[in-house]
Structure 1
Amino acid sequence: MCTLRVSLLAAIAAASFAFGFAAGDGTENNPYQISTPEHLEAVNDDLSANYVLTGNIDLSARTYDRAVIAPDTDYTDRDSEFYHARPIFTGSPFTGSFDGAGYKIVNLTVDASNAIGDYPCHIGFIGKIEGGLVRNVGIENTVITFEDVYYKAEYLGGLAGFNSGTISNCYSAANVSGDAEFLGSLCGSNSGTIEKCNATGSVLGGRAAEYVAGLCGRNEGGTISNCYATGSVTGDFDLGGLCGSNSGTIINCYATGSVSGSSSLGGLCGQNYYGTISSCFWNTETSGMNTSDGGTGLTIAQMKAPNTFLDAGWDFAGESANGIEDIWVMPEDGYPRLAWSTSDNSGGINPADLNNDGIVDILDFAIFSENWLLPE
């Protein structure tokens, strides 16, 4: 198979005049419809517009050296005021809305190792989300990586390198690795909102890697709620099954992945810097960790007991005492899962949830009935 290695800067320029979208005008009520890799790259022409996927996007024929959407466009920029030079984001963040509509991005590779410039940052499917909304999209069979003998990258994540917007009802099975700070299978660093998301990819920090975690490397003043991570985590400092470092709020989350490193390690969170962690858990047996800076350690049996989470106030389908959103479901002999996910335990998004409310019920059937056999 022939693989096209894409310079994203060239791709952005080409997309600006060579490709439109399948349909739509970019408004909230009529978002641009994305059905090809070229459409994805053309999102960079208007990072404040509204977009929706109309199918899965396979990127196996391409290899990127920076984020597909809202990338750092200049890896030579740095801030030398720190005790060591730090990368600076050059480019424009994503401020619009991106609705995956239950579809996924597959076979994405972002390898910044050989890119021009010594200070890469904001590496992932989306480089930087600032006030934007990303929802209902999955990331599968994806690799995000950076390796270098002398320099370190920052903000590596399967879905987003950095988020100060909202990520909702998403999942990532991306494997993330690198000589870097702020690494997570879903997001490198968060100062916005991450809700109802899960991450299953492994996260491997390289030389002197800090802030490494299964879901999000760092939560700096943001909120992470109703999320979980199951992937293994390896690095040096500030490592956690869910979050490496927290100075925000984490609520109703859990982690089960193994954690290994040098110091400041936690089954759920490595370091909690004056943040709030409530009603959260980690598996002491599968993580290999008896400690965490926040959360409660449980055995496998306790993690599979519904009352563990019901007593902590988690909102499950079939009960109303903890809320009526029906955020979680409890599979037989399994861990809690998000209600929007499919029944095959892949972490995917349920295409039968036609109104995207996180559950499949009579309301979805009504939508299906209204559109049955309508002419295209």
Structure 2
Amino acid sequence: MAIEIHTAEDLYNIRDNLSGDYIQMADIDLSGYSNFDPIGDFDNPFEGTYDGAEYSISNLTINKQDESYIGLFGDTREVEIKNINLENIYVTGEDYVGGIAGYVRNNVSIVGCVAKGTVSGEGGYAGGIAGYVMDSVDISDCTFEGTAEGDYYTGGIAGYINGNGNVNISNCIVNGSISGSYSGGGIAGQVYSADISACKATVILSGDNQVGGIAGYIYAGAIAECYSSGKATAFDYYGYSGGLVGYGYCDITNCYSGCDIEGAAYIGGLIGYDSGSSITNCYSVGKVSGADSDIGGLIGYASGNISSCYYDTETSGQSDTGKGEPKTTAEMKTQATYIDWDFQNIWGINRLVNDGYPFLKVFEDGGEEPEEPENPYILYFLDTPRVTIEPPSANVVTVISDSSEYTAREAGISDDEVIHRIVEIDEGNYDVCRTVAKQLLSRWGREQKSIEGKIRLCQGLDFLKKVHIYDAEAMVDEDMRIQKLVHDVIEQTTVVTAGDIILSDDELLARILDSI
């Protein structure tokens, strides 16, 4: 049975049993520790499990500039760490510095963790989530927001990855700034033989050389279905700066970058220096500004296989060929440009999404919020419409299957505010339970409102279009999306249903399970 962690003291005392299984039971404030000692070190690593249960751990301060293996956990080995939510952290050390863990090795899983704040390595190996990663490690569904800095090997998720083909980074998000003299990346600073997939980074990157929106340097492994935006600047003459990768030798498929790139030589919208990669179905649109040689709209220096890759010659300011095909902005926003791309399963294109450029379907938001006209229609009903309101019914949801369970919880609620609902499903692993719990909480945790009424015939309305609903008698004056339209040409009316689709609990659960 898991050991419960309720207080800052409980958390600190994990060091007395480094092989225990722990679950956090409340939000924890560490402001009482002016210089927190990491849990575990190289000689005595943490080897248990920790489930943060999506409670917060705030105000973690570690200031040990002359020490290594620094983070909430200093060194971890053969562990599972999940659902930790670090807020307002300041973590600094010499080498192997991470928000969640400084050193991660040998059969470790880090899932669903968030770190917000500053992580700094006075030497190197600094990452927002993990500093140094090696041998059979999975990091997934993690987010870093803030600043990561170090002298060398600095990344938003991991500073340095030594994968030996057994490290996977997936579904991770970084928003912030990354800086260091050598090998800085939005997701990872330097990578040897690891796979990075379905990750996105919106970052301001700066360093002397090997600077990339996803990876500063990568040798072997793969990057798939990732994108970056922001700016990457390399200061050395041979800067190796790219929107996705600074210096690379790997497989890169179905990726794009909107990073603006600055440097002297070996700089490109997607890759600065390609040392023999296989690059397929990728594009870039960022501005590329270089002062010397080997500058490209897509790739600065290329020696690998490039297939069906493109860059925007207008936004990049470049016109080179043979290293990706230059296209006009209009062509880049046209599906027919992209030969043999999978627009059924992987890519989408819509003038309202991602500024009209192709977007990756793995990201629900398509890279950017749709730029819709504000309230193109104001609806006035002929009669008082029917308004249905369902109040919030839960702020904690636990989903239990035959083999696993997961609890989703709204942040910031106290124990006496908890409205807990438990749902049982026939089968499903941890990921299924997690998905179902989060989707149920997203519905049950807020008020749902639906409105139905007649307006004058309006066949120009579209399903899911945003409209403004106004009816003084029904006390409705707000934006909603259309969910159903029924036109009656004889009566010259349209019945509009807008707002939320209100389902019974069984119907909602069935729809969620069908979508997984």
Same fold flag (TM > 0.5): yes
Distance 1:244 1:283 in 2: 16
User: Is contact 2:50–2:80 with CA below 8 Å preserved after alignment?
Assistant: no
Root-mean-square deviation (CA), in Å?
3.8
Which residue identity does 2:239 align to in structure 1? Answer: E
User: Is contact 2:98–2:119 with CA below 8 Å preserved after alignment?
Assistant: no
Which consecutive unaligned segments of at least 5 residues does structure 2 have? 1-30, 54-75, 90-96, 370-430, 440-507
> Are 2:379 and 1:345 equivalent residues in the alignment?
no
Task: Give how far 1:370 is off.
Answer: 8.5
Distance 1:332 1:264, change over 3 A: same
User: Which of 262, 266, 273 is 1:245 aligned to?
Assistant: 273
User: Is contact 1:26–1:51 with CA below 8 Å preserved after alignment?
Assistant: no
Bigger relative CO (Cα 8 Å, ≥ 6 apart): 1
Task: Give how far 1:43 is off.
Answer: 4.1
Which residue identity does 1:233 align to in structure 2? Answer: I
Partner of 2:341: 314
User: Is contact 1:241–1:257 with CA below 8 Å preserved after alignment?
Assistant: yes
Distance 1:365 1:159, change over 3 A: farther
Distance 1:228 1:303 in 2: 12
Task: Give how far 1:157 is off.
Answer: 0.5
> In the TM superposition, what are the counterparts of 1:238-317 in structure 2 within 5 Å?
238-246=266-274, 247-261=276-290, 262-273=292-303, 275-309=304-338, 312-317=339-344
TM-score normalised by length of structure 2: 0.52
> Are 2:196 and 1:144 equivalent residues in the alignment?
no
Task: Give how far 1:201 is off.
Answer: 2.1
Percent identity between the two aligned chains: 26
User: Is contact 2:262–2:289 with CA below 8 Å preserved after alignment?
Assistant: yes
1:80-134, Cα deviation, whole Å (9 max, x unpaired): xxxxxxxxxxxx636411111xx52212x1222xxxxxxx432113122212000
Partner of 1:368: 512
Distance 1:62 1:126, change over 3 A: closer
Distance 1:7 1:223 in 2: 42
> Are 2:154 and 1:123 equivalent residues in the alignment?
yes
Task: Give how far 1:307 is off.
Answer: 0.9
Task: Give how far 1:52 is off.
Answer: 4.2
Worse-superposed segment, 337-346 or 191-200: 337-346
User: Which of 199, 203, 210 is 1:174 aligned to?
Assistant: 203
Task: Give how far 1:331 is off.
Answer: 1.5
Distance 1:16 1:42 in 2: 14
1:125-165, Cα deviation, whole Å (9 max, x unpaired): 3122212000011111x21113xxxxxx3321111012221
Q: Aligned with 1:263: secondary structure? A: coil
Larger strand share, 1 or 2: 2
Distance 1:234 1:11 in 2: 40
User: Which of 3, 25, 35 is 2:84 aligned to?
Assistant: 35
Which consecutive unaligned segments of at least 5 residues does structure 1 have? 73-91, 113-119, 147-152, 318-325, 348-353, 372-376
> Are 2:99 and 1:54 equivalent residues in the alignment?
no
User: Is contact 2:217–2:245 with CA below 8 Å preserved after alignment?
Assistant: yes
> Are 2:182 and 1:154 equivalent residues in the alignment?
yes
Task: Give how far 1:18 is off.
Answer: 12
Task: Give how far 1:26 is off.
Answer: 8.8
TM-score normalised by length of structure 1: 0.70
- How many corresponding residue pairs? 305
Q: Aligned with 2:294: secondary structure? A: strand
Worse-superposed segment, 264-273 or 326-335: 326-335
User: Which of 145, 148, 152 is 1:106 aligned to?
Assistant: 145
User: Is contact 1:268–1:292 with CA below 8 Å preserved after alignment?
Assistant: no
Distance 1:96 1:189 in 2: 19
Q: Aligned with 1:313: secondary structure? A: coil
